[in-house]
Amino acid sequence: MKRIIPFIILFIFIRISYLNAQHREFKAGYIITQTNDTIRGTIAYLENRKKNQICVFKNEKNGELKEYEPDELKSYKFIDDKLFSSQRIETRKDVNEQVFLEELVTGGVSLYKYKELYFFGINGEDLVKLNTEIIGENSKITQKNKHIGIITSYLVPACPEIREQIMQVKLAEKPLTLLLENYNSCIGAPFISHKLNKRWATLAFNITSGFNTSSLKFTGSYSHLLSDFSRSNSLAIGGAIEIVSPRLNERLGLNLGMFYLSSDYQTTNTIIVGLTTYSNSVSFAMKTIKVPIGIKLKFRSNKFNSYTTFGISKTFHNISENNWDWERERKDVVSLFHEEALFTNRNQLGMWAAYGFNKSITESIKGLFEVRIEKTDGIAHNDLRLTGEVFSRIINWQMMVGIVF
């Protein structure tokens, strides 16, 4: 039962994340109907692929909530943010669909995006697809340098000085957006970069401290290690850097952290073999630096901004105590021994997950509360695991509080 508890907790984290993901955040915007009527209200801010399939709109006058499909609107736009226009495109090989294309740049030459596909729009004519291959519905799109030839043929005649930038451009949102902004400036065409107010990258820092409880477990053939070890409780302190690209996705971020904790574990057992009694006392003590790396998925609500994070962690140990004191009693003769309990690893690789929330304290500082679980492959050396002699695992639970700035 104890072995599956971490997986149960992980399932709960995933379930909470799923339920939070169903929450729709609405932002101010407007829609343009097929009859060119502009209706103002709020629009569900979708970060997933549904943004290309539906527009969930709440009318500001009557409060009516309605879902629109691409053939029902000409476009929808968030104020000072994204614009989506209804277009018919080839979404995959030999399949044409009416979808909401995200319009990244509107100008003499406009730039559109659908999933991993990019298009030029020129003077209201048919869209020019920059991707040269579509392999299939579930396959990744092959990106080749043929797109450079397509872009060159459309942009260089009017702006030769942009040729060098074209030679380096990748099929990705940032380089293509910068290219179109430079091109439209070059030819003197008025243009709008719809997410201009959003940064390509932002950094947030947090400092945290809290309670850590840890368990150590061994399996294998080393009998002195097989009884239950005492739990280790200690203070954990650390911090993290979060990197987010609001232009690309406001909810996803990369989390890189580091924190410190200390642990100590003890166990005793008695083993009787025939007329001989073995009494074992084992203790480990270590100071630990952990470096977790994960993907953070953020959710929004009226009161708190919650999030969940999943990733891997690298653990570095400074083991100060690795003791095995044992005695052998046979026919009233007691012999005492002392040696190292285990051939140990100084570092480990593990997995971790967290669920937490933050709330604004001031304009630039937020308070944070987080619960996390981490499972590593323990301190038994790799050579012992490979031979099947000893397997180990360490599970850490933390409740952390801190500030984000």
Range of the domain at 75: 28-193
Which position has the token pair 């050396």? 381
Instruction: Measure the CA–CA gap between 353 and 187, rounded to whole angstroms.
Output: 50
From 93, 42, 83, 32, select the one nearest 66 (Cα to Cα). 42
CATH number (domain holding residue 315): 2.40.160.20
Residues 185 and 207 in one domain: no
Residue 155's Cβ-count burial label (10 Å; 0-12, 13-18, 19+) is: buried
- The domain boundary, picked from 146, 170, 193, lies at 193
Q: Is 149 helix (H, G, I), strand (E, B) or coil?
A: helix
Task: Say how far apart CA 101 and CA 51 lie, in whole Å.
Answer: 9
Give me the number of domains the chain comprises: 2
For 60, the token pair is 């500001």
pTM of the model: 0.80
* Residue 46 placed within a domain: yes
Q: pLDDT tens, position by position, for the chain (405 residues)?
A: 555 565 566 566 666 655 555 567 899 999 999 999 999 999 999 877 789 999 999 999 888 999 999 999 999 999 999 999 999 998 887 889 999 999 999 999 999 999 989 999 987 677 999 987 654 455 444 556 789 999 999 999 999 999 999 999 999 999 999 999 999 999 999 999 999 989 999 999 999 999 999 999 999 989 999 999 999 999 999 999 999 999 988 889 999 999 999 999 999 999 999 999 999 999 999 999 999 999 998 886 556 788 999 999 999 999 999 999 999 999 889 999 999 999 998 898 999 999 998 989 998 899 999 999 999 988 988 877 777 789 999 999 999 999 999
**Among 299, 296, 317, which residue's Cα sits nearest to residue 241?**
296
* Residues 6+ away with beta carbon under 8 Å from 16: 308, 355
Q: Are residues 151 and 229 in the same domain?
A: no
